[in-house]
Amino acid sequence: MTVRFEIGFTRYLAPNGKLVPGLPPFAADAKTIIPLYEAMVRARVFDAKAVALWRTGRLGTFASSLGQEAVAVGAASAMQETDVLLPSFREHGAQLWRGVTPVELLLYWGGDERGSDFKGPRQDFPVCVPVASHVPHAVGVALACKLRRERRAALCILGDGATSKGDVAEALNIAGVWRLPVVFVINNNQWAISVPVSRQTAAETLAQKGIAAGIPSLQVDGNDVVAVRMAVAGALERARTGGGASLIEAITYRLADHTTADDASRYRDDADVSPHWLEEPLIRVRTFLTEAGLWSKKDEEHLLQETTAEIEAAATAYLGIPTQNVSTIFDYTFEKLPEDLVTQRQHALGRRVQSAAPPAVQS
Amino acid sequence: MKTFALPDLGEGLAEAEIVAWHVAEGDHVVADQPLVSVETEKAVVEVPSPQAGRIARLFGKPGDRVLVGAPLAAYEEGVHADTGTVVGELSAASPTPSPRTRQGVASPIVKATPVVRALAREHGVDLAQVTPSGTGGTVTQEDVLRAAKALPGAGGGEPLKGVRRAMALNMARAHAAVVPASLFDEADVEGWWTQGADVTLRLARAIAAGVTASPALNCWFDALRMERRVHAQIDLGVAVDSEEGLIVPVLRNVGHRDTGELRRELDRLKAMVRNRSVPLESLRGATITLSNFGTMAGQYAALIVLPPQVAILGAGRISPRNFQGNSGVGFRHVLPLSLTFDHRVVTGGEAARFLRAAAEDLQRPA
Amino acid sequence: MAELKMVQSINLALARAMEEDARVLVLGEDVGVDGGVFRATEGLLGRFGADRVLDTPLAEAAIAGLSVGLAAQGFRPVAEIQFTGFIYPTIDQLANHASRLRTRTRGRLTCPMVLRSPAGGGIRAVEHHSESPEAMLAQIPGLRVVIPSSPLKAYGLLLAAIRDPDPVVFLEPTRLYRAFMEETPDDGAALPLDSCFIQREGSHVTLVAWGAMLRDALGAADLLAQEGTEAEVIDVATLKPLDEATILESVAKTGRCVIAHEAPLTAGFGAEIAARLAGRGLTSLLAPVERVTGYDTVMPLPRLEAAYLPGQDEIAAAARRTMSYK
């Protein structure tokens, strides 16, 4: 028996803001599309502020999501409140959409665990640093939803590099064979630090790794927030209603360095990056909105000013938050602190505490 | 720095207002990357970077109006330093401490378990003196107990405190520093001595006479600086024996105060010693010391010079002797004198002159 | 009340826990239909159904990872790793996630999972089936490591582990699975975690062991008793967090200590106990602390296994050395 597979690619909004035939109705609905644009702008302004704070020694190493806002916002906007988000470390736009506050994000990247104690989305997972290790978690969360027969799903966002890891193969496989309510979104920004996707895998698409797990898999233009939203919304609804898992590869581009400590010009030409600015996700939506008469100059100005003010205020608030008490190093290790740790905590409290200043400026 | 100016945005405008920066100073940007959003008549437009590079400076803040052709951003020139990491910060190398050379062979620690050590401490046994009989030359409990039995008067010792402790420490220090020499003589005191005579005051006067003749004995010596300070005033330390031990209150300015005053002062000091209420100032600053040990027993003694002083005069028991004095032969009461001086500072001649003058004064009937 | 082998008492504890708490799930390879390759999960699928007992694909990392996801969602997963030779892929999930989920979210998300696995040698098995990774796991902050030494202990400690709100690795000594039987009442009574157990009282020397070595320690104690040496035998049970007080108190009484474990010598968990004795127990010691352990080599294949595994003779010899030390 010969088995064939096909990976579809979807885009609705081209880089120039022009529509491709078959635009879903919501895209013309200002009430739906404008919040997506605003959220992407918010993500970008936040991102720039985080980088600026790092540069002045007031935030730790930060992974910028510049250029990838549509994947994060598009995917998160398709979730219902009771779904669970499991991000990697470059989905600030998704976390912000879900109700994680800019202050919480700054606390996390600024080196304070309270940043992961989300007051908003209580069940969402925190940022995951060991690449792909959160993908099995998503499967566990989905299993929990299924066992409880709840109309809920898990949304897991992972990078292109992550797809090379065994964790992903294992997780996709279980999600497939157990028909679990989980949607995997590959935030394919085409770079894993210095390794381009062409050297990450021989597979023509990353989506087809889902085929290997028996899961419906497709590709979308990751810079088209409409396409991302469409695909993820469909996949989540399928998941919640017993249709099982999906894998969506959203193709975008990492316009920033891997992290603020990285210097991408060491391994990729600036000249190769420039053309991708012409495909970036915010401009095409704004162009579309403007030409559809849904967005004006005043709206743009107002949005930029308001968002900048909000993010500035968040940065000020973050900078004013004092460091946690030294005892918090210990207090959350177990539900109840064992003897050994009580002694160690005492020792730590007795030491001269180092200044709580954020990391020093780099030369 | 390469500066980039606000380009002509069309619409015939001469200026635009900055709405929001999209990059910050220090950022690495590529060509076509939006630097800033500016407001024109018709729209908010993004101004893209003309080149790749690192932003050195941005000109203006949101709300500012920038003229077309005015500087917008400046780019760094030259190579940017490599951080050498993708997360966190690696601090710059600090000089590694140079390896310390071996300091020579220290004596090895006696092998004994902690329990054995505690036992040794308890019994006052010096482990280094114990012959080890355990494996590998370890001192065992039996070894310690055996050694303890051999110690005379093994038992609890009385720790020295207060005055006794101070004496132990001070005498040891003095012994370590001073180079003592002693000169002995006698004074014929038949002329004035009676049972109730005030010997101490006569001795004080004699010392004053000695100092007059030989001021070098009334001084302080600073061995570190190799300086001596000869004092004009004589502050006499008077050794007093008490229950607690040796206490030396100071009689000030004995050279220029009358006897009655000195006697009252001395009595006061002695009373305070008995009451243990002598103040600290009264124990400090003696320039020379007198020990009238003869009131108890003894004739001659090589006493201890207490730094920074350089001399101490000891007076022994006055006793009648068959003495060949100036007034002829016969039984005369004689006061033995012992002068110990620090030979680092005082010469034999100086000491002798002092002693002769003191003895002569003591021989005067009044 | 019945006399049970350890594998049966584990089965009993699992059933008990699942009966009492609907959040408890059992998952792993071959745990459902097959009842587990050692039959530890026998009958559970039939009794509790496929929603509670899950046969997973062959994917240790994912088994551990999805346990984290389940636990964060409020379930109490008890994941089986078929042999500790296969536990290593789970260390990523244990060290990077399970053990730190509570602290890194300031208590917002927690991870009440149990990872259980047959550990240790002495079953003449093929390669990689005789591992003793307890020291490696014990060093992970935020993780409990528990090792039962008998059917009764297994029942009570496993119940405690399942009920504990934080992650526990439960290493079951494979060679004890069927080695002996013990009265094990199904009373749902948990034994305390973080606590050593004094199995035998004595005043001359303290023997410290866990898991399968405990029987060897007790055997050594019997040998020593014949010579007039009364050994106190301590079952550590929970390696981390360690109940050092019990061990220190015992050595304060005896002044001598022998620690026994199958795992290799260097950086084995015996080193941790020895360090504690050298610290707070120093002035009690009459002799050096002895460790009776496996060698710093891979466990040899079955033909030479007996030459590797320490036993009661080695423990007794070590105890005698401490007794005769001057």
User: Where residue B62 sits, what CATH number does that domain have?
Assistant: 2.40.50.100
Q: pLDDT digit string (tens) for B65-113?
A: 999 999 999 999 877 777 788 888 887 777 777 776 666 666 677 888 8
Least Cα distance to A224 among A75, A84, A99, A91 occurs for: A75
Q: Does C295 touch chain B (CB under 8 A)?
A: no
- CB-based contact (8 Å) between A306 and chain B? no
Q: Which of A40-54, A306-320, C129-143, C296-310 has the lowest mean pLDDT?
A: C296-310
Q: What homologous superfamily does CATH list for C3-183?
A: Thiamin diphosphate (ThDP)-binding fold, Pyr/PP domains (3.40.50.970)
Does residue B215 share a domain with residue B88?
no
**Backbone dihedral angles phi then psi of residue C257, each to the nearest 5 degrees:** -145, 135
Q: Domain total for chain A?
A: 2
For residue A176, what are the CA distances in angstroms to A142, A182, C61? Answer: 12, 9, 16
Is the sign of the CA dihedral B131, B135, B136, B139 positive or negative? negative
Domain assignment present for residue A289? The answer is yes
Q: Give all chains having 3 or more CB-to-CB distances under 8 Å with chain A.
A: B, C
The answer to the question of residue A1 being in a domain is no
Residue C286 phi, psi (nearest 5): -100, -15
- Model confidence pLDDT, tens digit, residues B266-287: 999 989 988 888 888 888 999 9
In chain A, which among 245-284 make CB contacts under 8 A with chain B?
A: 255, 257-259, 261-266, 270-271, 273-275, 277-278, 283
Contact A264 B28 (CB under 8 A): yes
Q: Specify whether A217 is located in the same domain as A231.
A: yes
Bridge partners (DSSP) listed for residue C208: C234, C259
Are B293 and B202 contained in the same domain?
yes
Q: Please name the residues in contact with A35: beta carbons below 8 A apart, sequence gap of 6 or more.
A: A77
Residue A354 has pLDDT above 70, yes or no: no
Assess whether B202 and B333 both reside in one domain.
yes
Q: Which residue is associated with the tokens 């927030």?
A: A225
Check if C278 contacts B (Cβ < 8 Å): no
CB contact under 8 A, C286 and B138: no
Q: How far is the C-alpha of A255 from the C-alpha of A275, rounded, in Å?
A: 10
Is C325 an interface residue toward B (CB < 8 Å)? yes
Chain A: residue whose CA lies nearest to C74:
A144
User: What is the value of ipTM here, to two decimals?
Assistant: 0.91
| Same domain membership, residue A46 and residue A62 | yes
Within a domain: residue A332? yes
- Contact criterion met (CB < 8 Å) for C286 and B140: no
pLDDT at A35 over 70: yes
| DSSP H or E segment with residue B94 | none
Q: Residue type for B109, please?
A: I
Q: Name the β-bridge partners of A247.
A: A184, A217
Residue B106: the pLDDT is 66
Whether residues B75 and B119 fall in one domain: no
Q: Give residue B93's domain range.
A: 2-101
pLDDT the model gives residue B88: 83
Mean pLDDT, range B226-244, rounded to an integer: 92
Tell me the pLDDT band of C44, cut-offs 50, 70 and 90.
Answer: very high
The verdict on A99 and A222 lying in the same domain is yes
Do residue B149 and residue B277 come from a single domain? Answer: no
The pLDDT tens digits of the residues spanning C249-271 come to 999 999 999 999 999 999 999 99
- Domain enclosing residue A352, as ranges: 324-357
The 3-state DSSP class for residue B246 equals strand
Which two three-digit tokens encode residue C76?
A: 């109490």
Residues belonging to chain C: 326
3-state DSSP call for residue B190?
Answer: coil
Band of pLDDT at residue B329, cut at 50, 70 and 90: confident
CA torsion sign, B339 to B343 to B345 to B347? positive
Are the C-beta atoms of C167 and C98 separated by less than 8 Å?
yes
If one counts every other C-beta atom within 10 angstroms of the C-beta of residue B240, the result is: 18
Residues 6+ apart with CB under 8 A from A278: A15, B32
Amino acid A363: pLDDT: 33
Residues B14 and B80 in one domain: yes
Which residues in chain C belong to E strands, given as ranges?
2-5, 24-28, 53-55, 76-80, 114-119, 144-146, 168-173, 181-184, 197-200, 205-209, 231-235, 238-240, 257-264, 290-294
Are residues A183 and A250 located together in one domain of the fold?
yes
The verdict on residue A363 lying in a domain is: no
For chain C, state the CA radius of gyration: 19
- Number of domains observed in the structure of chain B: 3
* Residues 6 or more apart in contact with residue C141 via CB below 8 angstroms: A333, C99, C100
pLDDT digits 0-9 by tens, C214-246: 999 999 999 999 999 999 999 999 999 999 999
Q: Look at residue A257 and tell me if it is in a domain.
A: yes
Range A305-317 average pLDDT? 97
The 10 Å CB-count burial string (b at 16+, else e) for A348-358 is eeeeeeeeeeb
CB C67 within 8 A of CB C115: yes
> Would you give the distance in Å from CA C270 to the centre of its chain?
14
Residues B215 and B324 in one domain: yes
- Looking at residue B138, which CATH number applies to its domain? 4.10.320
Residue B296, number of CB atoms within 10 A of its CB: 9
CB-nearest to A277 from B32, B37, B89 is B32
Confidence label for C308 from pLDDT (cuts 50, 70 and 90): very high
A254 contacts on B by Cβ (under 8 Å): none
Q: What percent of chain B is modeled with pLDDT above 70?
A: 95
pTM of the model: 0.77
Rounded CA-CA distance C156/C135 in Å is: 22
pLDDT for position A362: 36
- Does the distance separating the beta carbons of C326 and B140 come in below 8 Å? yes
State the average pLDDT over residues A11-23. 85
Quick check: is B205 in a domain? Answer: yes
Does residue C48 register a pLDDT over 70? yes
Confidence of residue A211 (pLDDT cuts 50, 70, 90): very high
Ranges of beta strands (E only) in C97-193 are: 114-119, 144-146, 168-173, 181-184
Instruction: Looking at the structure, tell me whether residues B247 and B326 fall in a common domain.
Output: yes
Task: Name the pLDDT band for C321 (thresholds 50, 70, 90).
Answer: very high
Q: Hunting for tokens 């000891």 — which residue is that? A: B314
State the pLDDT at residue A352: 63
Closest CA to B50 of B112, B98, B109, B7: B7
Q: Is pLDDT of A355 > 80?
A: no
Q: Is residue B274 part of a domain?
A: yes
Cβ contact C168:C206 at 8 Å: no
Contacts of B356 (CB under 8 A, 6+ apart): B185, B213
What residues are paired with B54 via a beta bridge? B28
Domain ranges of chain C: 3-183, 197-324
Confidence band (pLDDT; 50, 70, 90) for A358?
very low
Kindly report the three-state secondary structure assignment for every residue of chain A. CCCCCCCCEECCECCCCCECCCCCHHHHCHHHHHHHHHHHHHHHHHHHHHHHHHHCCCCCCCCCCCCCHHHHHHHHHCCCCCCEEECCCCCHHHHHHHCCCHHHHHHHHCCCHHHHCCCCCCCCCCCCCCCCCCHHHHHHHHHHHHHCCCCCCEEEEEECHHHHCHHHHHHHHHHHHCCCCEEEEEEECCEECCEEHHHCCCCCCCCHHHHCCCCCEEEEECCCHHHHHHHHHHHHHHHHHHHCCEEEEEECCCCCCCCCCCCHHHCCCHHHHHHHHCCCHHHHHHHHHHHCCCCCHHHHHHHHHHHHHHHHHHHHHHHCCCCCCCCHHHHCCCCCCCHHHHHHHHHHHHCCCCCCCCCCCCC
d(CA C316, CA C323): 10
% chain A with pLDDT above 70: 96
Please answer whether residues A124 and A80 qualify as being in contact, where contact means their C-beta atoms are separated by less than 8 angstroms.
no
Residue A159 to residue A91: CA distance in whole angstroms: 10
- The four Cα atoms B307, B311, B316, B320 give a dihedral, to 10 degrees, of 180
**Cβ(A231)–Cβ(A75) under 8 Å?**
no
**Out of C97, C102, C194, whose CB is closest to A133?**
C97
Check residue B105 and give its pLDDT.
60
B113-130: buried (b, 16+ CB within 10 Å) or exposed (e) per residue? bebbbebbeeeebebeeb
Rounded distance between C-alpha atoms, residue C119 and residue C169, angstroms: 11
Nearest to C135 by CA among C293, C2, C7, C13: C293
Please indicate, yes or no, if residue B332 is contained in any of the structural domains.
yes
Structure tokens at B109: 């620690």
A357 pLDDT more than 50? no
Q: Is residue A127 part of a domain?
A: yes
Of A113, A143, A166, which has the smallest distance from its Cβ to C103's Cβ?
A113
pLDDT-above-70 percentage for chain C: 100
Residues B6 and B61 both lie in one domain: yes
Q: Using CB atoms, which residue from B19, B23, B30 is nearest to A273?
A: B30
Q: Is the pLDDT of residue C188 over 60?
A: yes
If you count them, how many residues does chain A have?
363
DSSP single-letter state for residue B95: P
What are A95-140's pLDDT values in tens digits? 999 999 999 999 999 999 999 999 999 999 999 999 999 999 999 9
Distance CA B363, CA B192 (A): 8
| B344 and B203, same domain (yes or no) | yes
Residues B260 and B326 in one domain: yes
| Of B49, B53, B50, the residue nearest B22 (C-alpha) | B49
C73–A140 C-beta distance less than 8 A? yes
Q: Which of the listed ranges A344-358, B134-148, C255-269 does the model predict with the highest average pLDDT? A: C255-269
Q: Which two tokens stand for residue C16?
A: 């008990």
pLDDT at A359: 45
* Residues B62 and B18: beta-carbon distance below 8 Å: yes
Tokens of B298: 């003894």
Residues A275 and A341 in one domain: no
Q: Where are the beta strands (DSSP E) in B129-226?
A: 180-188, 219-222
Is B11 an interface residue toward A (CB < 8 Å)?
no
Query: Pick from B315, B121, B331, B80: which is nearest to B210 by CA?
Result: B315
Express each pLDDT in C154-174 by its tens digit.
999 999 999 999 999 999 999
| Nearest C-alpha neighbor of B139 from the set B151, B126, B157, B149 | B126
Q: What is the mean pLDDT of residues A143-158?
A: 98
| Residue A354 φ then ψ, to 5° | -65, 155
In a shared domain, residues A336 and A252: no
Task: Give A61-91 pLDDT, tens digit per residue.
Answer: 999 999 999 999 999 999 999 999 999 999 9
Beta bridge partners of C2: C184
Beta bridge partners of A154: A84, A182
Q: Give the list of residues 6+ apart from residue A331 with CB closer than 8 angstroms, or none.
A: A337, A345
Residues of A catalogued as catalytic:
254, 258, 267
* Residue range C197-324, CATH number: 3.40.50.920
Q: Residue C53 pLDDT more than 60? A: yes
| Pairwise CA distance, residues C104 & C113, whole Å | 17
C-beta of residue B315 within 8 angstroms of C-beta of residue B337: yes
pLDDT category of residue B261 using cuts at 50, 70 and 90: very high
Give yes or no for C102 touching A (CB within 8 A): yes
